[in-house]
Structure 1
Amino acid sequence: MTTTPTRTVPPYRSALHPAHAGFGRLLRAEWTKFWTVRAWLLVLAVAAVVTVVICQLGASGSSVSGGPPVVVGPGGEVVNDSFRFTHRALTGDGTVTTRVTGLTDRSGRGLGPWTKAGIVVKSSLKPGSPYAAVMATPGHGVRMQWNFTHDKAGPSSDLTKAPQWLRLKRLGEKLTGYASVDGQNWTQLGEVRVGGLGRTVQVGLFVAAPAREVVHRSFGGTSSIAGSGQATGTFDHLTLQGKSTDGGWAGTDVGAPDPNGPNGQPGTTTVSPTGTYTLTGQGDIAPDETSPDMVQMSFQGVFMGLLFMAALGTLFVTSEYKRGLIRTTFTATPSRLKVLAAKATVIGAITFTTGLLATAIGFTLAQKTLRSNGFRPPEFPDLSLLENPALRAVVGSAVLLSLVAVLALAVGVVLRSSAGTIATVVVLVILPQILSFALPLPVAQWFLRATPAAAFAIQQGFTYYPQVQHNCLPEAGCYPLTPYHGLTVLVAYTAAALLLAAWTVRRRDA
């Protein structure tokens, strides 16, 4: 029997430099694929135009006019600064001490958790002026707060069960707060520097009862109970160490009484023969979080732009599966994971660059329109494109658009169906946002924590401070997660989808 000798075929070796035969070559190939398909370029251009146009239309439909004068704090933020103040002038350094013996509700709605009774050092009686205060609250224990946006927790003592001793010491611009349960053993709450106090300041007792609104939402609708509070605080053992030119303590309402409060009545101060001070007042000393979010109002077009970016990410891979071209790609490049990485890199870079240009233009035009519609300083400060929170929202929105495109690409690898992929991405990213407007609040907030829709939090321009009680309503643009934490949820979903796509592309035939 005659045997035919076999010939060993040597493995293929590319004549190209390894850098050109590797990932760099794949990037160029995928880049070329994208730019040679006119339909994809058209979708990309339409996505940018639609994003800008809807941002502009959304801003054009928003306007504001009139309203009471706003109070601006030391940092330029809009604040609430209205409370009952029993005070004396202090020249130079000194220390004020008191014991808060009780805090009761006068409005009939119950004490709010951030109702406050304590002592304050304030540069003047002008609303919005610098200050530092130590206080007892019904729901959050003893606190030290200064200049409206800063808050530090002290002992979580229950004022309704035991009196609280408070002390505030001034040494120049350095203010130190203390608390005690017996007036003998003191715990330091904090030491802060407050600029702009001046040599003579106003020191004394204060009471504030913030306005409250309790919102309930069920499948049948939304209801709310709103109204201002009014509280009475009692104090004794009031002492002031330091130089004062005043002959005694005077009572003042800092800021006008809330016209929506109980009869809009001013506060009162009474002093008993035994030295017990009783203050009744309303209002709040805190950031004002009731104004519209001008940053978020400038990005309404991103919601529609997502649909186009999801379509691009989907078609960038499913079109090859549909026409069988993916086999050619995998034959030319056996490393399928490199192909997936190159596709994700290219579509991510293209959509991010386009999204960044669209959101920057859309934000700039929307801000100009909002200004012409009454959104002007000081209530609505000028926002520079290159400073936070505007810069974070612009770049973050571009990242959001890019991540959705990459998520769609990964889902497309798994499903290999254009319609199924787009529908899946819409259900994951857009549907939770829409449902959150109608679902009961706990369910809506869960959706905005656990789904990729949490990433829309990156567009928030407001800082929601923990020392202000507020209802976080999705329709008002409030998200339960911080901007970066919300975006991280979408990053996690995209990473998981890419891992699933990598597993799928290696296990399945092309």
Structure 2
Amino acid sequence: MTDTQTPPVTPYRSTAVPAGRDGFVQLLRAEWTKLRTVRRWGLTLLGAVLVTVLVSVFAATSSKVQFAGGGDRGPEPTGPGGVRIVDSFRYAHQALPGDGTITVRLAEFRTGEGSTPEWGKAGVLIKKDAAPGASYAALMLTPGHGVRLQNDFVHDRAGSNSPAGEPRWLRLTRDGTTLTGYESADGKEWSEVGAVTVPGLTGTVQVGLFVASPMVDTMDRQFGSVSVSSEPSRSTAVFDDVTVDGGSGDWRHTDVGEQPGGDGQSSGPVGGEGESSESGGRFTLTGSGDIAPAQYNTDLAAMSLSGTQLGLVLIAALGVLFITAEYRRGMIRTTFAASPRRGRVLVAKAVVIGVTAFAAGLVASVASFLIAQPILKANGHKPPRFPELQLTDGPVLRAVLGSAVLLALIAVLALGLGALLRRTAGAVATVVVLFVAPLVLVTTLPIGFAQFLQQFTPLAGFAVQETLTRYDHVATLCLPEEGCYPQGPWIGIGTLLLYAVAVLGLAVWRVRRRDV
């Protein structure tokens, strides 16, 4: 009898995917299936889109332009590049056919009437001509910001912090289209403020001395109301030791920026006609007005997207329900049994709800903008006083896409709160406290605290909708009720991103360490 050898037995291996070993793509597919198969969640998403669009349209319909005295305003001056500007000041000048230099000592600069404007200006200026909006370069002293070199309204460069109460020597040199500014405390040792290229300063230009004194805005803010008033200011500058190399012709004294008065005659810049005199080489100029970009407080793009302030409530509710519904029904146990890596499950949910909210927010934002803009134009928000906005404009496109990102981040943040609290009502109430309540309160709180909420709470994300250009060298009031966020759009949406990541990260940490 012969021994028979038993063949080796191959161990059984299941072809099923082991628990917890499924891929992230499969998790995403599973979470997407959950989201799209619950009908009321789809209705919530549709409701968020409709609410966003309807509220935006209502805001556009309710906003009408009222003009003092009836009728529309005439064309406003524009500077190089089409920027709307204010160009109104007292100017003592002569022709400069070619290259040359103007040197002066600003002996005295004072405000005579009205409040002291921090951006009052006095100094030397080379301008293409005396027409409002013409290219220029100016070296000036200001009461609140020292010596500045500015050109073509939107460009500003800082010099020393010399106070306006001390005499200062100023020099501006023209070499073709390159203008170089210098300053000195004694007229002997000079320091360069900077050099700028101004393409519009070709051929014969005007060179001389100027003074400008802009409107001063004041605000009285109380709980529930805010009152903003503007009053003209009037400043006087005294120049001596004036020398112009390369200049020609007699000195002329001009109120640049004269506007037609109600009687058809011309009136000087804001605050009344300017005055100037010359005696023994000493010039005294008094005037009002400003040389700066025009600042407007109505952000038409942000107004078109205002519906997101209510649409976010439904988006947040969906983000909360996407996790709390499973806790309430006990389905979360099944989910974690199939995918024991709980943190990854929560991240998959965040990706799905975030992408879905972004898509819905994009549809709502594009529709809101396209519908609201014609309504705003019909209500008087049209050129030349207001810009013609297009969806493809850089700031507008950023605001529209940013609104979709804003809603996506709110959905992710709400999901994280839902995972932390496990209660729908508590999580939704928290979102309302974080977003809706501050949106209401910032219009009534003291300005300092209101801006604190805008900068350091999740509310900061709404800064991404702001499209108005704000210049550091123009004094403006940044009012929350006008949609002004002091930190700018990118820092604002970045702040909300940090909140969303932090809350989701805390939720991942907690869900790994406590029982279902």
- TM bucket, shorter chain: over 0.9
Corresponding position of 1:70: 76
Q: Which amino acid aligns with 1:252?
A: T
Compare 192-201 and 221-230 and name the one that shifted more: 221-230
User: Cα offset for 1:221?
Assistant: 4.9
Corresponding position of 1:171: 175
Corresponding position of 1:23: 24
Q: Decide whether the 8 Å contact of 1:168 with 1:178 is kept in 2.
A: yes
Provide the C-alpha distance between the structure 2 equivalents of 1:212 and 1:340, rounded to a whole number of angstroms: 53
**1:122 matched to 2:127:** yes
User: Cα offset for 1:15?
Assistant: 3.6
Q: Decide whether the 8 Å contact of 2:233 with 2:288 is kept in 1.
A: yes
User: Cα offset for 1:220?
Assistant: 7.5
Counterpart mapping for 1:44-443 below 5 A? 44-64=45-65, 66-109=72-115, 111-160=116-165, 162-219=166-223, 221-224=225-228, 226-244=230-248, 246=249, 248-256=250-258, 264-273=271-280, 275-443=281-449
Q: Decide whether the 8 Å contact of 1:207 with 1:231 is kept in 2.
A: yes
Corresponding position of 1:7: none
Note the residue ranges of structure 2 that are not aligned, 5 or more in a row: 1-10, 262-266
Compare 19-28 and 493-502 and name the one that shifted more: 19-28
User: Cα offset for 1:210?
Assistant: 0.7
Distance 1:192 1:484, change over 3 A: same
SS of residue matched to 1:390: helix
Provide the C-alpha distance between the structure 2 equivalents of 1:336 and 1:496, rounded to a whole number of angstroms: 17
Compare 29-38 and 254-263 and name the one that shifted more: 254-263
Compare 217-226 and 227-236 and name the one that shifted more: 217-226
Corresponding position of 1:3: none
SS of residue matched to 2:98: strand
Corresponding position of 2:7: none
TM-score of the superposition, structure 2-length normalised? 0.92
Q: Decide whether the 8 Å contact of 1:258 with 1:264 is kept in 2.
A: no
Corresponding position of 1:450: 456
User: Cα offset for 1:483?
Assistant: 0.8
Provide the C-alpha distance between the structure 1 equivalents of 2:234 and 2:484, rounded to a whole number of angstroms: 27
Distance 1:63 1:256, change over 3 A: same
SS of residue matched to 2:362: helix
Q: Which amino acid aligns with 2:37?
A: T
Q: Deviations over 1:347-400 (max 9, x none)?
A: 000000111121012112211222222222233222221221101100111110
CA RMSD of aligned residues (A): 2.2
Provide the C-alpha distance between the structure 1 equivalents of 2:374 and 2:13, rounded to a whole number of angstroms: 60
User: Cα offset for 1:435?
Assistant: 0.4
User: Cα offset for 1:165?
Assistant: 0.9
Provide the C-alpha distance between the structure 1 equivalents of 2:497 and 2:134, rounded to a whole number of angstroms: 42
Q: Deviations over 1:153-198 (max 9, x none)?
A: 10011121x2111111111221111111111211111111112223
TM-score of the superposition, structure 1-length normalised? 0.93
User: Cα offset for 1:263?
Assistant: 9.0
Aligned length: 496
Q: Deviations over 1:185-232 (max 9, x none)?
A: 111111111122231111111100010112132448545553010000
Q: Which amino acid aligns with 2:232?
A: S
Distance 1:187 1:13, change over 3 A: farther
Provide the C-alpha distance between the structure 2 equivalents of 1:449 and 1:11, rounded to a whole number of angstroms: 61
Provide the C-alpha distance between the structure 2 equivalents of 1:390 and 1:230, rounded to a whole number of angstroms: 38
Note the residue ranges of structure 1 that are not aligned, 5 or more in a row: 1-9
User: Cα offset for 1:475?
Assistant: 0.9
Which runs of at least 4 in structure 1 moved beyond 4 Å after TM superposition?
10-14, 16-20, 257-264
User: Cα offset for 1:433?
Assistant: 1.6
Corresponding position of 1:5: none
Q: Decide whether the 8 Å contact of 2:259 with 2:269 is kept in 1.
A: no
Q: Which amino acid aligns with 2:136?
A: Y
Q: Decide whether the 8 Å contact of 1:94 with 1:241 is kept in 2.
A: yes
SS of residue matched to 2:97: strand
Q: Which amino acid aligns with 1:149?
A: V
Q: Decide whether the 8 Å contact of 2:179 with 2:195 is kept in 1.
A: yes
Compare 395-404 and 121-130 and name the one that shifted more: 121-130
Distance 1:468 1:96, change over 3 A: same
